[in-house]
Structure 1
């Protein structure tokens, strides 16, 4: 008799336990927080790729999305990792200095290294947009095997990248000519001297040299010298570069998801790294104008990947 009377109480207790578990789960917040800044197609593609890669293992509620201006480190205390998408988000999260590991994406090495250092004990890493110089030189070998000289226009923010080009050149049987500039007004005089020798000009991710104000004149000068330019984004190819090797937002998103998965599994945040996946874009009109025969971009990219399988590039 007493057992039967206790059944409604047991049922009520079970409902309360379920409610408490639900409230506790909601209060705990997402395990992964994605912070976005400038909302654009590239950022949306990155966020979509991260979510798609993680959702099979995580519930949708485990992945939070916050805009940079709304990010409050204290409001996401339960998160296991924070992923920033874009420079604005990296800057906003860096200013808050959260305790959780932070993975920055869709930013250059130059921007990342210019940010304030994290607090002692805080883990921070990045997946850069920049491609490794060794991979860029492999692109030149794969696409233009008859070219033996690389030209670099180096600014104050690309000296280390230039050193990596010089160090990697011998294994690709290439020579590197460097022209150093410290101010924008020095660019075109330096470029004229640099391009006297037959070569291929690489655009470096240095905003002091290659930016929206200088790129058209750099392209025109290189074209006048019959020098192909290799850029670092599809926009450069559309503007008149012969080739570009770059990683798509979706590719970087998948790489970020793999790092998030490892952190959730208890592993440490890895060091900053270059993109793993990449694509090649080509401008056939520029190729014809310069008298250059190019293979299909997909075939060029495949040859670069084959070279990387023989020797893994360093970031």
Structure 2
């Protein structure tokens, strides 16, 4: 009887030792497969551009993140979610979503997409210091490089911006001349663009809501068309509407860059989490509207077609 009890004790002891040996590994495996929480706030889940970003994020992050998507108008639900989930990342897509999340207490990490430098600069300073952003603005050096690769005449450029545009504009080391005109309230948009056309071989459009909005865009395109001055746009829509060239980032590639940052941030220890940054898109597409070039009589370089397509600038 005592021998039997001793055998039972030995077996139980051996079992407990095995459990103690493998328990840390099991816990580590559970942690490794745990999905990090990610709240995505978007201006729209239906519009093609927003849908493209969301699909790209789901495809690239679905295995590593527990994703929840809310619309910018669901303010109460956004607040409720963040109060229950104070850690994790929050990603906003669009200006309305950016405004909504900027009113909330700081989260572990924040990333804003489809936001312009102009809109970001107007956010509360506390939010800007704690948030990251991938701007829709393409670097001026990138735009002028594309202009030189496509236009036979590209020595003088013009930029029209609102009075409160937050950054100083320059072409850096480029020898291209730059004419800058700031529009004040009450100024005529048509007269401003007509005057700019007299000083430039082409006009660069920047994502400035005070200038390039639904009320002005038709007048701007018509004025530059009549003046035979090419417009370089910042979106696919502007290219279709009448811009000769557009330099922009397609939604799936904006989602790709955001996913790369989120995964990199997630893989780092909490004490070494990526610091806030604000940067231009890494990936971009160049689109040339050949019909507009023909209508304007604009001379393109023989190899201009080679400038089109997806590109990557990792050092900008």
| 2:258 equivalent to 1:246 | no
Q: Rg bigger for which structure?
A: 2
TM-score (structure 2 length as normaliser): 0.79
Q: Matches of residues 122-201 of structure 1 in structure 2 within 5 Å?
A: 123-158=130-165, 160=167, 163-164=168-169, 166-168=170-172, 171-201=173-203
2:237 equivalent in structure 1: 235
Gaps of 5+ in 1: none
Length, aligned pairs only: 284
In 2, the alpha carbon distance for the partners of 1:303 and 1:75 equals: 40
Relative distance call for 1:212 and 1:119 in structure 2 (3 A) is closer
Larger deviation: 293-302 or 136-145?
A: 293-302
Relative distance call for 1:301 and 1:114 in structure 2 (3 A) is same
| 2:61 equivalent to 1:63 | no
1:52 equivalent in structure 2: 59
Contact persistence 2:43–2:93 (CA under 8 A): yes
What is the CA distance between 1:54 and its match in structure 2?
A: 2.4
Larger deviation: 123-132 or 284-293?
A: 284-293
Contact persistence 2:287–2:309 (CA under 8 A): no
| 2:94 equivalent to 1:94 | no
In 1, the alpha carbon distance for the partners of 2:70 and 2:303 equals: 40
Larger deviation: 265-274 or 250-259?
A: 265-274
What is the CA distance between 1:257 and its match in structure 2?
A: 1.0
2:84 equivalent in structure 1: 75
In 1, the alpha carbon distance for the partners of 2:247 and 2:110 equals: 27
TM-score (structure 1 length as normaliser): 0.79
CA RMSD in angstroms, aligned pairs only = 3.1
Larger deviation: 131-140 or 184-193?
A: 184-193
Query: Which digits, 9 at most, give the CA deviation of each residue in 1:140-163, with x for residues without a partner?
Result: 111114221101222124362xx3
2:278 equivalent in structure 1: 272
Contact persistence 2:93–2:113 (CA under 8 A): yes
2:307 equivalent in structure 1: 300
In 1, the alpha carbon distance for the partners of 2:264 and 2:305 equals: 31
Contact persistence 2:179–2:200 (CA under 8 A): no
In 2, the alpha carbon distance for the partners of 1:124 and 1:110 equals: 15
1:288 equivalent in structure 2: 294
| 2:227 equivalent to 1:225 | yes
Relative distance call for 1:196 and 1:67 in structure 2 (3 A) is closer
1:43 equivalent in structure 2: 50
What is the CA distance between 1:231 and its match in structure 2?
A: 0.9
In 2, the alpha carbon distance for the partners of 1:269 and 1:51 equals: 24
Gaps of 5+ in 2: none
Which has a greater percent of strand? Answer: 2
The secondary structure found in structure 2 opposite 1:280 is strand
Which has a greater percent of helix? Answer: 1
Relative distance call for 1:224 and 1:84 in structure 2 (3 A) is same
In 2, the alpha carbon distance for the partners of 1:197 and 1:109 equals: 26
In 2, the alpha carbon distance for the partners of 1:303 and 1:46 equals: 16
Contact persistence 1:150–1:177 (CA under 8 A): yes
